[in-house]
Structures are given as C-alpha cells and as structure tokens.
Amino acid sequence: MPAAKILMITGDFTEDYETMVPFQTLLACGYTVHAVCPGKNAGETVATAIHDFEGDQTYSEKRGHNFALNASFASIRAEDYDALVVPGGRAPEYLRLNPDVIKAVQHFFEAGKPVAAICHGAQLLAAAGVLKGRTCSAYPACRPEVELAGGIYADIAINDAVADGNLVTAPAWPAHPSWLRQFMAALDAAALSEANAA
C-alpha cells in the first residue's frame, strides 16, 4: 500500500511548531507532504510565529523560522491528495478569505478524506462550513467560531486530541503526540478502506 499523499495549507505567521513538527514527522514516517501557501511558489518561504504559554492571559508570540514551501498552491489539485493538515497560528485568519483555499478544504470533507487541524486551524474549517454537527477541538479562543459554525467544541486538555470520524483536532502544539498518532491512525484506516474497496 503506497503511503498517503498529504496536503498542508499554511501561510505567513503560521505557528512554528504546528507547521514544522507535523511536516517533518509525517515525512519521517514515509508520507509525502506538500506544504503550500496561496500566492507563493515552491522554494519560497512563509514566516512562522512561536506561540507559547508563559502565564499571561493569552499566548505570547515571537518570530520563528522561515519555513520553506515545497509545492506551489497554484499548481496543486486537492483531488490529488489523500489527506489535509491545517496548522494553527495567525495564517488561518487570512487564509479563510481565499475562495480557492475554502474549496480545497471543502473537497477533503466532501470526499471523506482524513483532515488534521490544530489550534487556530479551526478558523479555516469554520469558514469552510464543514463543522456542522462535528466535534472539534481548537485553541479555546476559537470556541465561539466552532460553535457558530455548528460544531461541538471539545473542551479537552491542551496536550490531548479528539477524533470525529475523519477529522482529528487538538487545542495547541503540546498535543502533537496524541494529535499525530490519531491522524496517522485515520490515514491507515482510510488506506485500508481503499484497499478493501479495490
């Protein structure tokens, strides 16, 4: 069974850990991962932001790395991918204004493909109208968006994740072990289902 081909939609001031850690982990596990950003091409970079929890009423933000994209958004077709990853950070708040991004996100839900979103990634899912009746975790400040979109907000520990069918979500980067483990289980289940249908 070939490893899944995964699309990661990201953008400037995406959260550093929530972009770089899943990207590198999934590559290390043998998956193909294409990281794209609207308006940018393969070889260009997006700026990342480091969000941390340091005892303030909300997270702090510091400049992170330059994360290199390895595919061009204008050239990809969502239909060619088996799964989607949506990192958090500040990128989702502006990516959700792009109709082509919205269409791509909707494709994965319409096709029942695995989707992993973390932290503010839920802003993109809410804007795409794909959360109605779905259980979804997110950074707690995104709870109103999840609920206004018809989703059921999962109020879980910051290091936990939740799966609702093909959708795997988590509140923030401390959840990476649980979030990635559940996402890879969804990828395996999808691959098995496809193999059995063949």
Query: Which domains are assigned to the chain?
Result: 5-197 (3.40.50.880)
Q: Which residues of the chain have pLDDT under 70?
A: 1-2, 198
Q: Minimal CA–CA distance to 171: which of 186, 185, 152, 157?
A: 157
What's the confidence (pLDDT) of residue 136?
98
Radius of gyration of the chain (CA): 15
pLDDT of amino acid 1:
52
Q: 192 burial class (0-12, 13-18, 19+ CB within 10 angstroms)?
A: exposed
Dist CA 47 CA 187 (whole Å): 28
- What does pTM read for this prediction? 0.96
pLDDT number for residue 2: 64
Nearest one of 116, 117, 114 to 191, comparing CA atoms: 114
Q: Which residues pair with 63 in a beta bridge?
A: 49
